[in-house]
Structure 1
Amino acid sequence: MPKKAPSKIGGVALTVFGVLALAACTLDQQGGTAQPQGDDTSSKPSTDGSSLSVEQARERLEELRVEAENDPSGYDRSLFPHWTSKDGCDTRQVVLQRDGEGVEVDEDCDPVAGSWHSPYDGETFTDSGELDIDHMVALNEGWRSGAHAWTTEKRERFANDLDSSQLWAVSASSNRSKGDSDPADWLPPLESSHCDYVVSWIEVKHTWDLTVDPDEEAALREVLAGC
């Protein structure tokens, strides 16, 4: 009897089996699982702006207490101890390391190399001395919004808050232009940053249970409407 020709289907099956076996062996040697090419699911957490979405900011804004601004006498920056040290670095140094690219520090934790992008005006700096660490909600604005009634310990936590988006590394010129203004009186020169700015503002006010005055609330709503 003549021999049967090999089945084409059987040959294809063997080929596919061989490819799968080779892939399984390779993965076993690498100690991992296959990841689709071009679909890297890992991501670096952003250090710029708030972790809130615009929709979440709108919800938080509804929860803020709207009150006429109170400006009790007695404000002084020393009532908000800031740039406290932890693990050898003070808060300013921590923010500079967090918000910069390629930052290198000396034995005193001072940056000696790196670059920083100022989100308020789009400027980039390689000298950390040209940067300020801005309190999103300025200390005096916090005082007027309820912090005057806090303990010094709580004001210190507010002034060194690394958990919310309260602290931003920005150009000294933009920070000093802002002063202690709220969004009714000042927004960053870079218009494309306005949404991030007001979302962050709302986050900080909500986190610290601070009030907003009517003009401030109206300005926040107006910016959010365009986000």
Structure 2
Amino acid sequence: MPSSRLAVTCALAAAFLPIPVALAVALLQPPAPHSTSLSDLPQVVPEPPPAEVVRKELAALTVEAPHPLEGYSRDKFEHWAAENRWPKIQEAVLRRDAKAVSPDTRARTASQHWHSPYDDRILTTASEVHVDHVVPLANAWRSGADKWSPARRHKFANDLSTTQLLAVSTHANWSKGNKSPDQWVPPNAAYHCVYSRAWTHVKFTYGLSVTEKEKAALNSMLDTCP
């Protein structure tokens, strides 16, 4: 089968498979010319700005009612764009956020695990892990992304330069869904400071709006910062 047809077939198949399987399928594709290697992508989770900076960012955000969800689709954020970029980003996040476990005395090989900051859970298999958009795509759509170009939406959905993508437990990710901080907060209260800083900084970076209730919830979580 020609490489171009193989790439298309793999991409279509991966779109309907769970994350670990989809990533495995993506790895079967021939590398795209001039594509970025995983080793060139960030190797640590970016730290959001400190609380005093984030408070100023939050104060600068436009406060308005949510935009209509009409017309929204995850496809509008180009998850399955050229070079199958999203599966590559998923793998990069899984690799970035994985933590090594000391080699077992019998197996003599090191394994990996993930710490889900939302619910303070240790995850030992990739099937337990989801890559979460801290600011969900649907929330972004309702706070300004409905007016963006496809290129800007694609950048937002695959952004590793801010704390926008995190490896978390599937349970926490399903519980959160598309909810904003006035509707859902991480069960792990110790993470509220980082979560509010990350959420606010992402919205500030991309010029997204907040609602009155959302802003109040973020301010409340920022109060937990040292």
- Common fold: TM-score over 0.5: yes
Mapping of residues 71-86 of structure 1, within 5 Å: 71-82=68-79
Q: For 1:175 and 1:128, how far apart are their aligned partners in 2?
A: 14
CA-CA distance at 1:141 after TM superposition = 0.2
Match of 1:190 among 188, 191, 197: 188
Q: For 1:83 and 1:98, how far apart are their aligned partners in 2?
A: 21
Secondary structure in 2 matching 1:175:
helix
Match of 1:218 among 213, 216, 221: 216
The number of residue pairs the alignment matches comes to: 175
Mapping of residues 1-227 of structure 1, within 5 Å: 47-48=44-45, 50-82=47-79, 90-102=88-100, 113-227=111-225
Q: Is the 8 A contact 2:46 2:162 kept in 1?
A: no
Secondary structure in 2 matching 1:91:
helix
Q: Is the 8 A contact 2:48 2:194 kept in 1?
A: no
TM-score, normalising length: structure 1: 0.71
Distance 1:86 1:50, change over 3 A: farther
Superposed CA deviations along residues 165-211 of structure 1, whole A, max 9, x for unmatched, are 10010000000100000000000011111111000000100011000
State percent identity of aligned pairs. Answer: 41
Give the number of the structure whose alpha-carbon radius of gyration is greater: 1
Secondary structure in 2 matching 1:102:
strand
CA-CA distance at 1:83 after TM superposition = 6.7
Secondary structure in 2 matching 1:90:
helix
Secondary structure in 1 matching 2:218:
helix
Superposed CA deviations along residues 61-101 of structure 1, whole A, max 9, x for unmatched, are 111111111124111111112276589x7000000111111
Gaps of 5+ in 2: 1-41, 102-109
Q: For 1:48 and 1:141, how far apart are their aligned partners in 2?
A: 22
Amino acid at match of 1:69: P
- Name whichever structure is richer in helix by fraction: 2
Secondary structure in 2 matching 1:168:
strand
Secondary structure in 2 matching 1:51:
coil
Q: Is the 8 A contact 2:79 2:154 kept in 1?
A: yes
Q: Is the 8 A contact 1:49 1:200 kept in 2?
A: no
Distance 1:86 1:169, change over 3 A: same
